[in-house]
Amino acid sequence: MNSALQEIFRQLNEQREAIQALQAENKGLIAANQQGGKQRFPSQWKAGIIQYPGCFAFPMSVEIEMQSKGNTPFGTAVEESTGSMKFDISDPCYLTNITASLVKTNGTIGEDPAIPDPGIGYFRPLSMDCCSPLSPVEGQPAYHYFCDFEFQLWLDAKQLVITYGWLPSTLLQTDRKKGFILPIEYKVKHNETLHVKAQPLRAVQKIGDGFNLKFQAHFYKMLPSPKKIIDAMNQAEDLEL
């Protein structure tokens, strides 16, 4: 059996064990309800809080630098840019959503020094889908402000693919400012690597213009309750005495 099939069977076994555990838990809840017992539910419906009762979720965000093969600014050509981050945190971590930011970093000033190149050094919308196609500055073309693109997400050597094929940047431009939300919170394995790939739909029309695209991975790690840590320290001191 090759490694790919072994990985598929491993994931299927994990899913089967999770389903069996959930079925057993549901049977316990049904039996307790039939007996008139009271159930205690977690204060937050987060996978980590349910799986690790007594711990609390500590939110974190890590920025992923994107780089093209030619090390050129994003948008100067229809060229893929890639980036990655390794989850080397020992505490249990749950990946929740992915966001992105686009900053115009390269451009040339026009012939009229009174009209500088608009928007250099400012965050730009990720897609024209959320904005009027008209330029925010009268007399300046809209391509100064937008750079629509496609992206992909996967973990390790594409063994766990989060996005099948390319997804549009419109999914990252949401009203809730949470970008691409994973349908189910994913428990990241220790030292697992998240990979990101992005590609502009077209090159910007003005020669010399370019952007800096970055992605942000948002997750939370489960930490022991501070009270439990203090109680354990007190118990250790009592044993020493």
When pLDDT is averaged across residues 54-74 and rounded to a whole number, the result is 90
pLDDT band with cut points at 50, 70 and 90 for residue 122: confident
Phi and psi, residue 153, nearest 5° = -135, 135
pLDDT band with cut points at 50, 70 and 90 for residue 2: low
Residue 95 clears pLDDT 90, i.e. is over it:
yes
Q: In terms of pLDDT, which residue wins out, 170 or 4?
A: 170
How confident is the model at residue 219, as a pLDDT? 95
Residue 217 clears pLDDT 60, i.e. is over it:
yes
Q: How high does pLDDT run on average in the chain?
A: 78
Size of the chain in residues: 241
With residue 115 as reference, give the H or E element that holds it: none
Return the DSSP state at 236. H
Residue 143 clears pLDDT 70, i.e. is over it:
no
pTM, to two decimals: 0.72
Residue 137 clears pLDDT 60, i.e. is over it:
no
When pLDDT is averaged across residues 124-130 and rounded to a whole number, the result is 78
With residue 188 as reference, give the H or E element that holds it: strand 180-188
How confident is the model at residue 70, as a pLDDT? 86
Q: ∠69-126-163 over CA atoms, to 5°? A: 65
